[in-house]
Structure 1
Amino acid sequence: MGPERVGGLRQNALVTGMTTFWKALPTEGRWLLSTVAIQTLGRGLTLPFTIIYLHEVRGFDLGISGALMSLIAITALAVTGPGGTLIDRYGARAVLLFGISSMIAGCTLLAFATHPGVAAIAIVLIGVNFGLSWPGFNALIATIVDGELRQQYFGVNFALVNLGIGVGGIIGGFLVDVQNPATFTAIFLADAASGFIPMALLLGPLRHVRTQGEPGTDDEAGGSYREILRRPAVLWLTLVTFISVFIGYGQMEAGFPAFARQVSEVSTRVVGLSFAVNTAVIVLLQFAVLKLIAGRRRTRVMQVMALVWAASWLVLGATGLLPDSVAAAIGVLAFMGIFAFGETMLQPTVPAMYNDLATDRNRGRVNAVSAAAFQGGAITGPIAAGLLLANGWDAAYIITMLAGCASVLVLALVLERRVPASANGVAEASQTVGG
């Protein structure tokens, strides 16, 4: 694989460095990417501390606090489908502006919520943005960049999102104090303020980006959701996405911490440090991984990811054999590092494949299918983990995760036989990069 020649060359050419990648981006792509870490820093300030805020600061029952947290994912799942349709009809900009406004209102309201009902309204508003932002921003990115550059963009974007959230979490940890509610009010207001950054981009430098079809295009021209899911490539990719999230991100806030504490018996400090390891590995390795996977079949990359994640779950399972030990602590940290390596393969390939299967007429709906699969895995993953670990079925929990990895391996092979080569990252095609 040689370096990519900008302006009309092979789709699978390799962009050989951050400088070259940056120069290859259209102006709109540079604007969007340059603010990602700053935008997500606000989210990082509040993400690790929301349930602590609800329970320990506002005094809500822990069960109620947990139910309130689940409202984010439930709301996001409920609005994703209609959001995808609206993106295809009115464009991603309009839908994203609505979602961001909802998030700003929700975070501001949550900062002062002293009653569960008020907190519920605030969290629903935040969930609306979660449901709209995934398909909206993915449609925006896919409109701005294409070909191999699109896959690399999704990967770099993922690293920057993790950087922003990670740094935000560290800053938030130093700022908040459960004895001082004003510190929590401050971080939620800061999260709300971070929403004005993408809003300014959408109203300014990105105001001319059009993601929907040409004016007068019939809404059904791109196909209904049923028709989209009847396409074998989309259906199998959606199954891969759901299971990957079920055994991956669906375990990060529930199954993994519970196993690490109850079975591995490591300290909360080790669990917290493991998330820092996750962020560091992603930020440090993402661009190197992008070089390695450029021009290779995305389905093969998914299979390697499944093997890497299987190795990570085996490491975590082994920590249960030596509970409350230095070896267990090292194993928990190693698990998160290996898992993060797998993430660097998943995040560039899946969004790129979805968008290579989409057209301007149905891009919003195709990305909504992707978002729904992700949210479905994120909702069901913790439920399964809770049922298994609450009953002391520790070995069954690890076996379930390994079975999921094996399923991804097989499904990726099936997907490879049904997805067009152009969407699998291997077709020869001309690529024009603006800038």
Structure 2
Amino acid sequence: MTGFWNALPTEGRWLLSTVAIQTLGRGLTLPFTIIYLHEVRGFDLALSGALMSVIAITALAVTGPGGTLIDRYGARSVLLVGLTAMIAGCALLAFATHPAVAAVALVLMGVNFGVSWPGFNALIASVVDGEIRQQYFGVNFALVNLGIGVGGIIGGFYVDVDDPATFTTIFLADAASQLIPMALLLGPLRRVRTQGAGDEQADDAGAMSYRAILRRPAILWLTLLTFIAMFIGYGQMEAGFPAFARQVSGVSTQVVGFSFAVNTAVIVLLQFAVLRFISGHRRTRVMQVMALVWAASWLILGATGLLPGSLAAAIGVLAFMGVFAFGETMLQPTVPAMYNDLATDRNRGRVNAVNAAAFQGGAITGPIAAGLLLDQGWDAGYIATMVAGCVAIIVLAIALERHVSATANGVTEPSPSAAPAPAPATGTEAATGLTDPPTPR
């Protein structure tokens, strides 16, 4: 960790040192937003669920235009707009007593989520590169989980559904936490440039369109892989997994809640070790290992349905989250790093927007599929679908490896200039054309 920190440029240290504090505010509100809408503001559950979907739908809608604006005006300018929208949205939601007001607030928050993923990824990629970039994405992921996890714990102890003021406080705290990245963008990071040169950007406008980007086989395969990973991964964390754990495994809500704490703990504790393990290995191979780990986790969860309501089921649910988190530590350093190694400064915003759209698409369709399968009582079919998704990731990773360069795949190719030049032949060697073979190194 010391070597990694020393290798970072000053801008990278600024970005990384504040991640956990920035995301702590998000952790305060993330688990409790639907509780706030339904139990505190009195909106019925169906309406509350529909309002929650507004964030993801808005984020997906603005991701494409956001990526284009990032390439044209720079990530810094777009992120400042997104953060302003987030502050306004959180502050408005804190006092929302009518569904229409809450909807406007959630749209504003969705705007930020839509541009923050491609924006911050483009910013990171402009600051760090090479092997450090992969390590950075991994460490950043661990710190994001740490901030959200700690925020969730604090929020759980603080909020009280009988005291609306406690919920107002956490949403205002979430708004205040956005001032930290805003201060960084206006201060230490104000000179970081993510967009390409203006003339070159105009010349390549057609070649850098979303259609042209997705026609590149490496981007296309990686995007399909990302979508499926999100569909069977994060798309199940807020809907499919809790529903299966409650209805099929028969565990308590306390066990479900504690499983998320296990998830966070495993990521924070193992991310650094995993980064050292995967360093220098092909990212596509790491993705295949991740898929095998996730398949094992879904089989563990499926097995809990054989002993519903038992201690074994509770242990299995916790084990599922722990094993799943281990797979996450392999996903987050590899996929964003590969996207950015396949991008240039002239299309980095759009390439990261494609990544974000695949993530959001999987996160939206995953819960829908889970609801349809579990509502019909197809418990085994649900687990089988998740395992089949893991197999699909392995197949896509194999296909991706054929189209991606070794450098983008996380392997440093030896430079031809690094090979020692042969000594000039003299005497008999020159006459016969024979020389000794180079000594193996």
> TM-score under structure 2 normalisation?
0.93
Kindly tell me the number of residue pairs found equivalent between the two proteins.
413
Aligned to 1:209: 192
Q: How far does residue 158 in structure 1 lie from its aligned partner after superposition?
A: 0.1
Q: 1:276 and 1:382 mapped to 2: Cα distance?
A: 21
Counterpart in the other structure of 1:173: 156
SS at match of 1:422: coil
Q: Which amino acid aligns with 2:132?
A: L
Q: Please give the alpha-carbon distance, in whole angstroms, between the structure 2 residues aligned to 1:354 and 1:193.
A: 31
2:245–2:251 contact (8 Å) kept in structure 1: yes
* 1:311 to partner: Cα distance: 0.2
Q: 1:52 — aligned with what?
A: 35
8 Å CA contact retained: 1:79, 1:132: yes
Q: CA deviation at 1:222?
A: 5.6
Match for residue 312 of structure 1 among 297, 303, 306: 297
Aligned residue type for 2:338: M
Equivalence map 1:101-250=2 (5 Å) = 101-219=84-202, 220=205, 223-250=208-235
Residues 85, 364 of structure 1: 8 Å contact kept = yes
Tell me which stretches of 4 or more aligned residues in structure 1 moved more than 6 Å.
Answer: none
Is residue 152–residue 348 contact of structure 1 (8 Å, CA) maintained in 2?
Answer: yes
Q: Are the equivalent residues in 2 in contact too, given 1:222–1:362 (CA < 8 A)?
A: no
Match of 2:324 in 1: 339
Q: In the aligned structure 1, how far is the partner of 2:398 from the partner of 2:157? A: 46
Q: Say if 2:12 and 2:124, in contact at 8 Å, map to a contact too.
A: yes
Contact 1:103 1:128 in 2 (8 A): yes
Structure 2 unaligned runs (5+)?
416-441
SS at match of 2:230: helix
Deviation at 1:409, TM superposition (A): 0.6
Decide whether aligned partners of structure 1 residues 116 and 429 sit closer, same or farther in structure 2, where only a CA change above 3 A counts: farther
- Whether 1:26 and 2:9 are equivalent positions in the alignment is yes
Residues 1:254 and 2:236 are matched in the alignment: no
Q: Percent identity?
A: 83
Choose which of 263, 271, 276 in structure 2 pairs with 1:286. 271
Show the counterpart of 2:421.
none
Paired residues of 2:406 and 2:413 also in contact (CA < 8 A): no
Q: Which residue of 2 aligns with 1:7?
A: none
TM-score (norm 1): 0.94
* Structure 2 SS opposite 1:360: coil
Question: In the alignment, is residue 42 of structure 1 matched against residue 22 of structure 2?
Answer: no
Report if aligned partners of 2:262, 2:318 keep a CA contact under 8 Å in 1: yes
Asked if structure 1 preserves the Cα contact closer than 8 Å seen for 2:121 and 2:336, the reply is yes
Alignment match of 1:62 (pick from 45, 51, 60): 45
Equivalent position amino acid for 1:400 in 2? T
Partner of 1:271 in structure 2? 256
Larger mean Cα displacement after TM superposition, 134-143 or 414-423 = 414-423
Deviations 1:256-308 (A, max 9, x none): 00000000000000000000000000000001000000000000000000000
Q: What is the CA–CA distance in structure 1 between the aligned matches of 2:249 and 2:266, rounded to whole Å?
A: 22
Of 78, 84, 96 in structure 1, the residue corresponding to residue 67 of structure 2 is: 84
User: For residues 382-397 of structure 1, what are the structure 2 equivalents within 5 Å?
Assistant: 382-397=367-382
Assess, with a 3 A threshold, how the Cα gap between structure 1 residues 429 and 357 changes in structure 2: closer, same or farther. farther
The letter for the 2-side match of 1:411 is L
SS at 1:218 equivalent: helix
Could you say which residue in structure 2 is the equivalent of 1:362? 347
Paired residue for 2:80?
97
**SS in structure 1 at match of 2:257:** helix
**RMSD, aligned α-carbons:** 0.8
Deviation at 1:218, TM superposition (A): 3.1
**2:363 matched to 1:378?**
yes
**Counterpart pick for 2:333 among 330, 344, 348:** 348
Q: Deviation per CA, 1:151-178: give whole Å up to 9, x if none.
A: 0000000000000000000000011000
Aligned to 1:12: none
Distance (Å, rounded) in 1 between the aligned partners of 2:201 and 2:391: 41
Task: Please state how far the C-alpha of 1:217 moved relative to its aligned partner.
Answer: 3.3
Instruction: Decide whether the 8 Å contact of 2:75 with 2:122 is kept in 1.
Output: yes
- Residue aligning to 2:423: none
Q: Deviations over 1:194-219 (max 9, x none)?
A: 00000000000000000000133334
Aligned partner letter, 2:387:
L
Q: Shift in Å at residue 429 of structure 1?
A: 6.3
| Equivalent pair of 1:222/1:359 in contact (CA under 8 Å) | no
> What does 1:417-432 align with in structure 2 at a 5 Å threshold?
417-428=402-413
TM superposition shift of 1:420:
1.1
Give the partner amino acid of 2:59. Answer: A
Q: CA deviation at 1:428?
A: 2.6
Contact 2:307/2:313 (CA < 8 Å) preserved in 1?
yes
Counterparts of 2:260 and 2:392, CA distance in 1: 26
Alpha-carbon distance between aligned partners in 2 of 1:91 and 1:221, rounded to the nearest angstrom:
19
Alpha-carbon displacement from aligned partner over 1:357-416 (angstroms, at most 9, x marks no partner): 000000000000000000000000000000000111000000000000000011000000
Tell me the distance in 1 between the aligned counterparts of 2:347 and 2:198.
14
Correspondence for 1:295: 280
SS of the residue corresponding to residue 407 of structure 2 reads: helix
Q: In structure 2, what is the Cα distance between the partners aligned to 1:428 and 1:392?
A: 51
CA distance in 1, matches of 2:381, 2:253: 24
Distance 1:429 1:349 in 2: 21
Q: Quote the residue 1:9 is aligned against.
A: none
Which one-letter code corresponds to 1:249 in the other structure?
Y
* Shift of residue 346, structure 1, vs aligned partner: 0.2
* CA deviation vs aligned residue, 1:181-203 (integer Å, no higher than 9, x gap): 00000000000000000000000
SS state of the match for residue 424, structure 1?
Answer: coil
Cα displacement (A) at 1:238: 0.1
**Larger relative contact order (C-alpha < 8 A, sep ≥ 6)?**
1
Q: Distance in 2 between matches of 1:282 and 1:74?
A: 28
C-alpha distance in 2 between matches for 1:421 and 1:222: 23
Question: Structure 2 vs 1, CA of residues 429 and 352 (structure 1 numbering), >3 Å: closer, same or farther?
Answer: farther
Moved more, 273-282 or 219-228: 219-228
